Amino acid sequence: MSRDLAPDWILKQALGVQHKANAAWKPPGSSTTMSSNGSNTDGLTLTVLGCGTMGIAILGGIMDSLAHQHPQDHVSIPTKSTSGTSTPAEPIPERLPTRFNACVRRHQSAKRIKTELGQYPAFDDLSIYENDNLGPVREADVILLACKPQMVGEIFASKEMKEATAGKLLISICAGVTGEQIHTILGDVDCTVVRSMPNTAAAVRESMTVIATSTPPLSAETSSLLTWIFSRIGRVVYLPPSTMDASTALCGSGPAFVALFLESLVAGGIAMGLPREEAYTMAAQTMRGTTGLVLQGEHPAILKDKVSTPGGCTIGGLLVLEEGSMKGTVARAVREATVVASQLGQGKAGVNGPR
């Protein structure tokens, strides 16, 4: 078979055509709009400042969505919260990110971006910048601030960088850094700042992202764009800004707490003779199945009671965990992480020292 008819070549060509069609598509009746930097375009330019693990995961989710289906399909619409908080069902945004800038400091980081995102057709629309933030921010319609929290002030230290954010949407995923702090750093620049907190499971499209609500509320288009972006990597909820440090502790630090419990389950299984590799698979799938039941509406307490037959092995194990004050210890860990997240955002050092 000739190369021109090879299945891999045909697939590559088809994906390229599909990607171009996705980028050019716009809703019926809509008109071409001007981006904030003055260019005549339908798509948005997304610039990621500090494109590390989380930035790559978010870009990967967006690029994967653009590559494998129509960009307006498969939007994970959040359900209405029963707690009285606002997690609105969002309409699909009229304009989606179709051009991307990734800003890094080290050449090794740039190579990693190419390795992990090079598989997507939209990679052709990605520009990687080393030690250059100003140009990409000037080009951007949307800025994703994904650097370390202590670097925010340094990144926006110059007058030019501050002015480059004017009229744009700046999404911060920096732990502990409030929207008010970012506004203070930017000064009088009119920029829409939104604080959000995804977690490390974004790498497998299973993140739990918490987005802080704004006062006054965001426009419907901005809100729907935020929901669309973070729905590419998992689930989304909207909560008041006052809950963001607790959200950081529960969702941001939570995977580490869950991993520790998984390790404990595996250690017990290995101690009783289970092979190590199979024990990890068994424990991980058990946790995955349990969380699936909870997400479908099963209350953890009811689920626990269903498994605990009288005189059985489960109730025996549960009593050992209760004797060890597991629930109180884990809850205290979340509370401690909340305090630390708040102090990190205030720029305090030695936050995990003795109290």
Q: Report DSSP letters for 296-341, one per residue.
A: TT--HHHHHHHH--TTSHHHHHHHHHHHTTHHHHHHHHHHHHHHHH
pLDDT interval class at 13 (50, 70, 90)? low
pLDDT interval class at 350 (50, 70, 90)? confident
Confidence check: pLDDT of 4 > 90 = no
pLDDT interval class at 88 (50, 70, 90)? low
pLDDT at 68: 77
Q: Which position has the higher pLDDT, 36 or 44?
A: 44
Q: Please, are residues 49 and 149 in contact by the beta-carbon 8 Å criterion?
A: no
Confidence check: pLDDT of 112 > 70 = yes
pTM of the model: 0.80
Which tens digits make up the pLDDT trace of 289-320?
999 999 999 999 999 999 999 999 999 999 99
In the predicted model, what is the mean pLDDT of residues 202-221? 94
Which tens digits make up the pLDDT trace of 277-287?
999 999 999 99
pLDDT interval class at 87 (50, 70, 90)? low
**Structure-block tokens of residue 274:** 């289970």
Q: Which position has the higher pLDDT, 150 or 87?
A: 150
In the predicted model, what is the mean pLDDT of residues 10-20? 50
pLDDT interval class at 214 (50, 70, 90)? very high
pLDDT at 36: 41
Kindly write down the DSSP assignment for every residue of 110-129, as one continuous string: HHHHHHHHTTSGGGGGEEEE
**Structure-block tokens of residue 72:** 């307006």
**Residue among 296, 236, 245 nearest 88 (CA):** 236
Strands in 207-212's sheet, in edge-to-edge order, are: 126-130, 97-104, 44-49, 142-145, 169-172, 192-197, 207-212, 234-239
Domains with residue ranges and CATH for the chain: 3-25+33-241 (3.40.50.720), 253-324 (1.10.3730.10)
pLDDT interval class at 327 (50, 70, 90)? very high
Which residues face 47 on adjacent strands? Answer: 101, 143
Q: What is the DSSP letter of 292?
A: H
**Residue among 77, 89, 27 nearest 220 (CA):** 89
Confidence check: pLDDT of 143 > 90 = yes
Q: Look at 89-103, 106-120, 199-213, 320-334 and tell me which has the smallest mean pLDDT.
A: 89-103
Torsion of CA 201, 203, 204, 210, to 10 degrees: 40
Q: Please, are residues 262 and 284 in contact by the beta-carbon 8 Å criterion?
A: yes
Kindly write down the DSSP assignment for every residue of 146-179, as one continuous string: -S-GGGHHHHT-SHHHHHHTTTSEEEE--TT--H
Count Cα neighbours of 350 within 13 Å in the Cβ-side half-sphere.
3
Residue 285 parent element (H or E) = helix 276-295
Residue 209 parent element (H or E) = strand 207-212
pLDDT at 8: 52
In the predicted model, what is the mean pLDDT of residues 2-28? 48
Cis peptide bond upstream of 216, omega within 30: yes
**Structure-block tokens of residue 21:** 């069609």
Confidence check: pLDDT of 3 > 50 = no
Which tens digits make up the pLDDT trace of 38-80?
333 479 999 999 999 999 999 999 999 998 754 444 444 444 4
Tokens 């190419």 belong to 114
pLDDT at 72: 40
Q: Please, are residues 234 and 209 in contact by the beta-carbon 8 Å criterion?
A: yes
CB neighbours of residue 216 within 10 Å: 5
pLDDT interval class at 81 (50, 70, 90)? low
pLDDT at 34: 37
Q: Please, are residues 186 and 162 in contact by the beta-carbon 8 Å criterion?
A: yes
Residue 258 parent element (H or E) = helix 254-271
The rounded mean pLDDT for the chain is 86
Q: Are strands 44-49 and 207-212 parallel, antiparallel or unpaired?
A: unpaired
pLDDT at 128: 98
Q: How far apart are CA 63 and CA 192, in angstroms?
A: 24
Interacting residues of 161 by C-beta distance below 8 A, sequence separation 6+: 133, 134, 137, 155
pLDDT at 5: 47
Q: How far apart are CA 30 and CA 285, in angstroms?
A: 46
pLDDT at 33: 38
CB neighbours of residue 256 within 10 Å: 12
Q: Please, are residues 165 and 189 in contact by the beta-carbon 8 Å criterion?
A: yes
In the predicted model, what is the mean pLDDT of residues 166-192? 94
CB neighbours of residue 2 within 10 Å: 6
